Amino acid sequence: MRGDKKGVCMRENIIVIGGGGHARVIIDAIGNEGAFTVKGIVDPAISKGSKVAGVDVLGGDEVLKELYSSGVRHAIIGIGTVGQYEAKKEICKKLKSCGFMLPVVRHPSSVIAADAVIGAGSFIAAGVVINPGVVIGENAIINTHASIDHDCQIGDYAHIAPGAILCGGVKVGHEVHIGAGAVVVQNMQITDKAFVKAGCLVAKDIG
């Protein structure tokens, strides 16, 4: 937020990339958090001028430069789809080349330890708990009610799905998917690009 001349705090604008279910979850979190106003959605597959979650769809990725020129400085990737890592990396590159900053977006009901480090563009959903010593990379998704215990490390673009539990000291690589409700016991290591099915118990290293 920044102050105007009268000292009133104004919210910065942010755009959301993608307009599917995951984007709606992010838009709701942004509305609850209050740091940003969602200026619009950028999604080539949704008609320009239509609305998603009450937010205008502004067009496809060709409008990014124009949006930056109009003064929008923040963007968040709202594509959650499993396995879309290349698309997400490509759009991240485009956003950065236009000059956009990718802030961390968190739902206010998440509990995040003071010393946790969270990379640019990551999304922390409602009810997530992140304990001390945790380090999370860029553009990761820590989804609804996931629990990340002390000293875990989570790589770029990793997705910890709803209700998953990482016990203390777990290391999760880049582009890893940990399915909904999975439990990873303490100190396990999961290599880059691994996929853990929903509901699994991980008691051995993967990779």
What single letter denotes the amino acid at residue 22? H
Distances (CA, A) of 80 to 10, 77, 107: 29, 8, 16
Residue 22 or 106: which CB sits closer to ligand JB2? 22
Residue 14 or 91: which CB sits closer to ligand JB2? 91
* 147-186 footprint of ligand JB2 as x/- string (CB under 6 A): ----------------------------------------
Round to whole Å and give the CA distance between 192 and 139.
Answer: 15
* SS3 state at 155: coil
Paired tokens of 86: 């290349």
Contacts to ligand JB2 from residues 71-110, by CB under 6 A:
79-81, 87, 91
Q: Taking CB under 6 A as the rule, does residue 23 contact ligand JB2? A: yes
Residue 57 or 165: which CB sits closer to ligand JB2? 57
**Closest approach of Cβ 17 to ligand JB2, in Å?**
5
Residue 18 or 173: which CB sits closer to ligand JB2? 18
CB crowding 66-90: b at 16 or more within 10 Å, else e:
ebbeeebebbbbbbbeeebbeebee
Look at strands 55-59 and 74-77 and give their pairing.
Answer: unpaired
Contacts to ligand JB2 from residues 35-74, by CB under 6 A:
42-46, 61
Paired tokens of 147: 């629990």
Q: Which of 14, 19, 103, 182 binds ligand JB2 (CB under 6 A)?
A: 19
Residue 23 or 29: which CB sits closer to ligand JB2? 23
Q: Which of 11, 12, 20, 206 binds ligand JB2 (CB under 6 A)?
A: 20
Q: Which of 25, 32, 116 is nearest to 77 (CA)?
A: 25
Paired tokens of 84: 């879309």
Number of residues engaging ligand JB2 in binding (CB under 6 A): 18
Residue 75 or 118: which CB sits closer to ligand JB2? 75
Taking CB atoms, the residue at the shortest distance from ligand JB2 is 20
Calculate the dihedral angle through the C-alpha atoms of 158, 163, 167, 173, rounding to the nearest 10 degrees. Answer: -10
Binding site for ligand JB2 (CB under 6 A): 17-23, 42-46, 61, 79-81, 87, 91
